[in-house]
Chains A and B, each alone.
Chain A
């Protein structure tokens, strides 16, 4: 019984798809364009957030050790820092290493000779698990005996976090709004398709078809249209993004997300969203025609 009906539903769905070619095309295009816009927005967001993570993970704390501190005590300080919650990695940079790094940076081979005694202190470079904890960790380190200064780009870092926070909020809002717009657009297009068959639906109701019997073919139609539209969109998106990766990265050194698992999951969810769009759009539209 159920299998027989399912056969009937799919047959009806595909018959109606091929009979109403113009509306089929219109719905697929609508879904496709919605998913393209949504996909572009998601890709931009993913890349922006990747870029921001890049920036944020560069944030590092440098703790300067008082010169009067004994070498044995320096080690103890390092241990103490590594026990602070949220600290990922602690790296000791002796004053000699520090000077060499400075020489390299300045491109002056004879810096040591020029300035005589090494004026640099020993330092610890500290990385946090979560870059957002950096100010808090820095304050804790500052309180340790033997540390005379802590630097992490105070002020600038706070502003960077503020900016990245807003970028994230705005992009998520845009995506949510786009998704709502897509549902509305697809529902409207499907309503047109159903409207063209209202006489048939009315007849089915009068003959005694159940609501679900009438709904099923439309759901299958919506599912097929949504999935197909999204597949086309993902195809276009994949082509465009791949050529972007191949061409742009060389030119601008944009840190584009290229991990195939991330991108593939994104494409897959876009197809899923397209299918869902088709079903939700149908659900919104079909019920008003069943009130007979």
Chain B
């Protein structure tokens, strides 16, 4: 089992109860949608996966390691096993496509020769060949998200975490991005994706975890989410 939540609750210092007694398991190689209205606790749950937040109560294991008991200096190793993509892409505006992807490898101290080999491979994989020298401002939203995906995959993560990755994209572009994510999943990477897009989820026929008011309101195996 890759990810395990046991009775996880999160109450923020301002009193907001974001998660309430959440228990769930996600296996290696799964593709899981996290759904639910705004304020249901999706973002909090996502942030706990890479330990930007820790639970107020309960226990979380990722690859059999407790992130609650994890020491500060162990956090980088946890995060290196994950790739994260964001709704607003979070690309560095003053770096080119190539540099944005190389950045992810540089900051964990990768060898320059590995970077030179890996980055073009990633650019080809997300379909951005020829755009290496472009700056994010010169790209469309879909292209920017492809850069984000390439960056997230640069260090060969076990899990790809996507927080509303299609939130800023039109339907056509969203579908292209989804195809890319399915493709990544087929190659063995676990994908966890928070989203609002019901239509997109229904077509996907993947596992869906429904959150409502901080609780798990439903957990539908592949193909059973029809709402």
**Chain A residues within CB distance 8 Å of chain B:** 1, 4-5, 8, 19, 199-200, 203-210, 213-214, 292
Q: CB of B108 within 8 A of chain A? A: yes
CA distance A204 to B151 in the complex (A): 12
Q: Would B107 and A209 count as touching, CB distance under 8 A?
A: yes
Shortest CB–CB separation between residue A159 and chain B, in angstroms? 60
Provide the residues of chain B in CB contact with A1, threshold 8 Å: 109
Q: Would B111 and A4 count as touching, CB distance under 8 A?
A: yes
Question: Given A1-B109, A213-B109, A292-B52, is A207 in contact with B92 using a C-beta cutoff of 8 Å?
Answer: no
Q: Would B107 and A207 count as touching, CB distance under 8 A?
A: yes
Provide the residues of chain A in CB contact with B90, threshold 8 Å: 199, 203
Q: Would A204 and B107 count as touching, CB distance under 8 A?
A: yes
Q: Would B76 and A208 count as touching, CB distance under 8 A?
A: yes
Q: Would B77 and A208 count as touching, CB distance under 8 A?
A: yes
Convert B55-86 into 0s and 1s, putting 1 for each residue whose CB lies closer than 8 angstroms to a CB of A: 00000000000000000010111111010100
Provide the residues of chain A in CB contact with B52, threshold 8 Å: 206, 292
Q: Would B155 and A207 count as touching, CB distance under 8 A?
A: yes
- B106 interface neighbour in A8, A199, A206, Cβ under 8 Å: A8
Q: Would A199 and B92 count as touching, CB distance under 8 A?
A: yes
CA distance A213 to B104 in the complex (A): 13
Provide the residues of chain A in CB contact with B94, threshold 8 Å: 19
**Which single residue of chain B is at the shortest CB-CB distance from A210?**
B76
Provide the residues of chain B in CB contact with A8, threshold 8 Å: 106, 109
Q: Would B112 and A4 count as touching, CB distance under 8 A?
A: yes
- A203 interface neighbour in B92, B108, B112, B155, Cβ under 8 Å: B92
Convert B97-128 into 0s and 1s, putting 1 for each residue whose CB lies closer than 8 angstroms to a CB of A: 00000011011110110000000000000000
**Which single residue of chain A is at the shortest CB-CB distance from B94?**
A19
Interface contacts beyond A19-B94, A208-B79, A208-B82: sample of 20 additional A-B pairs, CB < 8 Å, sorted by A: A1-B109, A4-B111, A4-B112, A5-B109, A8-B109, A199-B90, A203-B92, A204-B107, A205-B79, A206-B50, A206-B52, A206-B79, A207-B84, A208-B76, A208-B78, A208-B80, A208-B107, A209-B76, A209-B107, A213-B109
**Chain B residues within CB distance 8 Å of chain A:** 50, 52, 73, 75-80, 82, 84, 90, 92, 94, 103-104, 106-109, 111-112, 151, 155
Shortest CB–CB separation between residue A83 and chain B, in angstroms? 67
CA distance A4 to B115 in the complex (A): 13
Shortest CB–CB separation between residue B36 and chain A, in angstroms? 23
Question: Given A200-B92, A204-B107, A292-B52, is A210 in contact with B155 using a C-beta cutoff of 8 Å?
Answer: no
CA distance A210 to B79 in the complex (A): 10
Shortest CB–CB separation between residue B170 and chain A, in angstroms? 25
**Which single residue of chain A is at the shortest CB-CB distance from B76?**
A208
CA distance A76 to B127 in the complex (A): 106
7 pairs, CB–CB < 8 Å, chain A vs chain B: A200-B92, A204-B107, A208-B75, A208-B77, A208-B107, A213-B108, A214-B107
Shortest CB–CB separation between residue A6 and chain B, in angstroms? 11
Provide the residues of chain A in CB contact with B50, threshold 8 Å: 206
Q: Would B92 and A208 count as touching, CB distance under 8 A?
A: no
CA distance A8 to B99 in the complex (A): 13
